Structure 1
C-alpha cells in the first residue's frame, strides 16, 4: 500500500469518528428529556371560585377542565374525572352521583360513565361519537377547556364525609393537576329508596313480593316519616290499567293497606337517625282490571318523591308487570 493511500484512508476514518462523536453529543439532550418524563400536554382540573362543601341532593361542585398543548404537533387527549367516596362506606347502587361536562373551547363532547368494584366513579370525556375510546386531538399550541359539574345524590352513604376528585388521561401524555378532596355535609332528610326485587310479575295466583327500604343518608330526622307507595305509568300517577291489592308484613301478620288508584300510604316511621333505614316487606296481588283493560299491564313501583316533609331520591325503582291469565 502506498503512503498516499494510507494517508487518505486515515483522514476518512478520522472524519467518521468526528461524525459519530457529534451525533452522540446531539442525542444526549433528547435522551435526557425523555428520561425526565417531560409531557407535551398540561391538564388542569380546578374548582370554580367560591366552591362550598357538597351536600347530598343539594349543593354540587363546578370545575373548569383545561388542557394545553405546548408542542409543535397535534397530541391525543382522552381525559376522565374519577370520583371516589371517602369514609369507608360503599354505595349500594351507582346512582349516587350526577356528572356532566360541556365544552367551553373544545369540540363536541360526550360523557361515558362507569363504576369499578370499589364504587369509584369515572366520567370519561370523549368526542361526540359512538365510540368511547376515541380521543381528542389537541392542535399544537392550543388550549381546550370544559365546564365540569358533579352533584351527589341521597344514595351516597352517610358515613362518606368527602369525595376525592382526580383527573386522569389514558394517553399518558400530560402532566395532570393534583387530586382534590371536597367535604360532604349532611342535610336533613336525604332519603333514598331501594327495592330487593327490581322487577317481577303479579297475578291472581302469585303475588309480587319485595322489600322497600327507605334510608336516611343525611342528618338525623326526629319528625315522623310517612312514605307513599304507588304503581303506575311513567308520569307518576297510579295506573288505571289494573287493580292491585297491597299487603304489608307487620310482625308476623300480613295486613292489607287501603288505597286508591294504586297508591298507598305506608305505615309511618317515628323518625330516622343518620344512616338508619326503615324496611317494609310488601306483596302486591292482582284483583282485577277496569272495563276494557287487561289481561296484561306493566308499570313502575316507586315511592313518591316526597314524604310530605323530606324529598326522596327515587332513582332506583322496580318494574312490575301484571299477568291476568293465571
Structure 2
C-alpha cells in the first residue's frame, strides 16, 4: 500500500512539473503541440527601400533618385526605428563630401528631416529622423502600423568620372528590422560636369601678403572637345566689396596679371577642352591694391556657368581681406 501510494505520488509530481514547464495539461493530446515555434531572433519591424517605378539613370547635376521607404511594425508593442539611406559610389572614392544632396520627407509618418553623414570610406548616410531632431533620435512606430517616407538624392559634379553607378541601401542602427536588399542605380555622363577644387580653403590677403592657391577645373562628365573659358570671381555680386584686388596667374614660371574689373577675371582659356576625368591646373595669386574698410571675408570661386555648361562651386575658399595697416604714403 505504501509502495503504491509512493508510485502514484511520483506520477502526480511529474505531471505537475510538466504543467509548469509547458503551460499545458499533462494529458493534453499531442496535436496541441503541433506547428513550428517562432524563431527567437524574429524582428518586429519589416523595412523596405524601393526606387520609383521608371527611375531614369542618374546624372551629375541633373536627374536624381526618388525612392520610397516603408516600415511595418508587426508586433503588439510600439517599436523604435532609426533608419538611414546609404549611397556608395561604384568606382573611385570621392575626395570630399560635396558629391551628393539628400532630402527626406514624410508620406504617412511624423514630420521628418533628412541629415547627411559620411563614413571614412566616403560612403554617404542620409539619416531619416523626426523633424528638429539630432541624427541619433529614432522614430517610434506604433503596434501594427506602417510608416512611409519619400527620400531623394542628387549627384553633383564632384562625383568622380569613373563612377558609373551607385549602390543604395537601407540600414537601421537599432537592428530591430529586416531590411530590403541594396539596389544599384546607373549613373550617366552628361557633357559639362565641371567641378572646381582649391588647395587652400581659407586664407588672408593684405597689403603685406597675397593669397595663393592652386585651382583645378575637372570634367567628371563626358568629354568636352572645345575651348573652355572659365571666369574667377571674388564675392558673388550680391553686395559691393570695399576692396580692389589684383589677380595673377603663374605661367611659364612667371606671374602674369589677368585683366578684370569689379573683382571678376577671365582666366586663360582651356584650349581644346577636357576629356572625361581630366583636369586643368591654375596657380593663382590675389593681391590687395585698395581698401576702404578694416577687414571682411568673402568667397573665391569660379563663376557657376561657363560657355561649356555649369560648374559645381559647392566647395570654395573663404578669403579674409585685411586692410590694416594701410601702406605708408610719403608726403611732400
> What TM-score do you get using the length of structure 2 for normalisation?
0.89
Deviation of 1:11 after TM superposition, in Å, equals 5.4
Contact 1:199 1:318 survives alignment (8 Å): yes
Contact 1:239 1:261 survives alignment (8 Å): no
Select 1:276's aligned residue among 272, 275, 278.
278
CA 1:269–1:144: 2 relative to 1, 3 Å: same
Contact 1:230 1:238 survives alignment (8 Å): no
Question: What is the aligned length?
Answer: 318
Select 2:148's aligned residue among 145, 149, 174.
145
Give 1:89-238 correspondences, 5 Å limit: 89-232=92-235, 235-237=236-238
Distance in 2 separating the partners of 1:45 and 1:18: 46
Contact 2:202 2:317 survives alignment (8 Å): yes
Deviations 1:123-170 (A, max 9, x none): 011112333212111111111001111110000000111000001111
Contact 1:54 1:152 survives alignment (8 Å): yes
CA 1:30–1:315: 2 relative to 1, 3 Å: farther
Select 1:49's aligned residue among 53, 61, 66.
53
Deviation of 1:323 after TM superposition, in Å, equals 1.1
Contact 2:105 2:114 survives alignment (8 Å): no
2:38 partner SS: helix
1:90 partner SS: coil
> What TM-score do you get using the length of structure 1 for normalisation?
0.91
Deviation of 1:49 after TM superposition, in Å, equals 1.4
Residue in structure 1 matched with residue 30 of structure 2 by the alignment: none
Please state if 1:72 is matched with 2:65. Answer: no
Give 1:284-323 correspondences, 5 Å limit: 284-289=286-291, 293-323=292-322
Deviation of 1:71 after TM superposition, in Å, equals 1.4
Distance in 1 separating the partners of 2:163 and 2:279: 16
Distance in 2 separating the partners of 1:40 and 1:167: 16
Deviation of 1:238 after TM superposition, in Å, equals 7.5
Contact 1:78 1:126 survives alignment (8 Å): yes
CA 1:246–1:237: 2 relative to 1, 3 Å: farther
Distance in 1 separating the partners of 2:11 and 2:277: 86
1:34 partner SS: coil
Distance in 2 separating the partners of 1:101 and 1:117: 23
Contact 2:242 2:293 survives alignment (8 Å): yes
1:19 partner SS: helix
Alignment gaps of 5+ in structure 1: none
CA 1:80–1:231: 2 relative to 1, 3 Å: same
Distance in 1 separating the partners of 2:156 and 2:73: 36
Deviations 1:34-83 (A, max 9, x none): 34x42221111111111111110111111111111111111111110000
Contact 1:238 1:263 survives alignment (8 Å): no
Please state if 1:34 is matched with 2:36. Answer: no
2:108 partner SS: coil
Deviation of 1:118 after TM superposition, in Å, equals 1.1
Distance in 2 separating the partners of 1:282 and 1:163: 35
Distance in 2 separating the partners of 1:97 and 1:118: 15
Please state if 1:10 is matched with 2:15. Answer: no
Contact 1:238 1:262 survives alignment (8 Å): no
Distance in 2 separating the partners of 1:202 and 1:30: 78
Deviations 1:209-239 (A, max 9, x none): 001111000000011111101112xx44584
Deviations 1:176-223 (A, max 9, x none): 111100110100000001111000000111100001111000000011
Distance in 2 separating the partners of 1:83 and 1:200: 33
Distance in 1 separating the partners of 2:268 and 2:108: 53
Deviation of 1:92 after TM superposition, in Å, equals 1.7
